[in-house]
Amino acid sequence: MTFPHAHLLGIEPLSQGDITAILDLAEAYVILNRSDAKHADALAGLTQINMFFENSTRTQASFELAGKRLGADVMNMAMQASSIKKGETLIDTAMTLNAMHPDLLVVRHPQSGAVDLLAQKVRCAVLNAGDGRHEHPTQALLDALTIRRTKGRLHRLSIAICGDIAHSRVARSNIILLGKMENRVRLIGPPTLMPSGIAEFGVEVFDDMRAGLEGVDVVMMLRLQRERMDGGFIPSEREYYHRFGLDAEKLAYAREDAIVMHPGPMNRGIEIDGEIADDINRSVIQDQVEMGVAVRMAAMDLLAQGLRARRAA
Ligand code: NCD
């Protein structure tokens, strides 16, 4: 199968077939990553540059490991200390990058749309590692792979996404992906953290955890994105935990075999009870991290195949 996209900027442009192709290839990389010889050569000879204009632990480490395991030369640009701080525009940065001939560029940026803009200016495949509150496609894909492996399918499931939906690119990419794969998505959170016009996405909206969690197969928790809030979106953290934090009592409303997910970083005692997060019978949070490496390997492999084919043409 040839992947028909030059970049991975969001879930929005992907078809069901594109999503399945990434997940199927990722399965092979899960096996590779569990073996002693973790090397493949899909990216051999290629240069991957990671540019993170926002802090990241999991995502950056995971993209770096993914590139290295596939044989790319991987460079992390320290954007905190870069010329951006000296006033260089994103476009100038793109021009500088072009001169270095990267093949894959992984970008995280605090502004929605910044990664798309950069993709129009550089001559390589761009992967969005999170742009503002817009999209975080590899997170939705790794969540999808985790769900597909634990539930045995990725369709006709009932999935609750809970908490700070308004500021979350993870929620947005997941809503789009899960909808495309024909699942039922419920959003649960206080009205102040619910984006306006969300009903257009074909989701059900709840402001009560117990009602929203009733009978769901998957419970996806989100971090309160304080860095994107400018004012009082919640009364207090204590009150928030009381109403929207996932604890055993609220989780009991979901299906008995419901799984608990969180993209990290977690705030224990604010959106999730630490014991639930650590409960290996319910929580798949560590599996999500593992799937993250495999999904990023698959996405970069498919984009690199397209890049090579276009360059050869
Ligand atoms: C998420 C992000 O950065 O959007 N984290 C991640 O990629 N693992 C979610 C978050 O920051 O809360």
pLDDT in tens, 157-216: 999 999 999 999 999 999 999 999 999 999 999 999 999 888 888 999 999 999 999 999
pLDDT of residue 82: 64
Residue 75 has pLDDT above 80, yes or no: yes
The residue-averaged pLDDT of 236-260 equals 97
Cα distances (Å, whole numbers) of residue 203 to 11, 121, 148: 17, 35, 20
Q: Given this model, what pLDDT does residue 234 score?
A: 82
Mean pLDDT of the chain: 94
Q: Using 50, 70 and 90 to split pLDDT, how confident is the model at 299?
A: very high
User: Is 80 or 152 the better-scoring residue by pLDDT?
Assistant: 152
CA 39 to centroid of chain Cα atoms? 24
Nearest CA to ligand 1 atom 12: 223
Please, are residues 195 and 165 in contact by the beta-carbon 8 Å criterion? yes
Which residue has its alpha carbon closest to ligand 1 atom 7?
Answer: 59
Given a contact cutoff of 8 angstroms between Cβ atoms, the answer to whether 163 and 224 are in contact is: yes
pLDDT band at 95, cuts 50/70/90?
A: confident
Confidence of residue 226 (pLDDT cuts 50, 70, 90): confident
Question: Which segment of 90-94, 194-198, 229-233 scores lowest on mean pLDDT?
Answer: 229-233
Q: Do residues 83 and 93 make contact, with C-beta atoms less than 8 angstroms apart?
A: yes
From the number of C-beta atoms within 10 Å of its C-beta (0-12, 13-18, 19+), residue 257 rates as: exposed
- Other CB atoms within a 10 A radius of the CB of residue 214 amount to 15
Alpha helices in the chain (DSSP H): 16-33, 58-69, 90-99, 114-121, 137-151, 169-180, 209-213, 237-244, 248-251, 274-278, 285-312
Residues with CB under 6 A from ligand 1: 58-59, 130, 136, 139, 169-170, 223, 225, 263-264
CA angle 1, 38, 100 (to 5 degrees): 70
Q: How far is CA 137 from the centre of its chain?
A: 5
- Give 184: exposed, middle or buried? Use CB within 10 Å, 0-12, 13-18, 19+: middle
Range with the largest mean pLDDT of 9-18, 74-83, 189-198: 9-18
- Which atom of ligand 1 is nearest to 57's Cα? 8
Quick check: 74 and 300 in contact, CB under 8 A? Answer: no
- Which atom of ligand 1 approaches the CA of 139 most closely? 7
User: Which of 48-62, 86-100, 154-168, 249-263 has the weakest average pLDDT?
Assistant: 86-100
- Best probe residue, ligand 1, of 136, 175, 222, 224 (max atoms within 8 Å of C-beta): 136
DSSP state, 131?
A: E
DSSP state at residue 232: -
According to DSSP, the β-strands at 158-162 and 104-109 are: unpaired
The rounded Å distance from CA 310 to ligand 1 centre is 32
Instruction: Reply yes or no on whether the pLDDT at 81 is more than 70.
Output: no
In this predicted structure, the answer to whether residue 83 has a pLDDT above a threshold of 80 is no
Helix, strand, coil % over all residues of the chain, rounded to 5? 45, 15, 40
- pLDDT in the model for residue 166: 95
- Rounded to an integer, the average pLDDT of 306-310 is 95
Closest atom of ligand 1 to 264 CA is: 8
Alpha-carbon distance of 304 to 294, in angstroms, equals 15
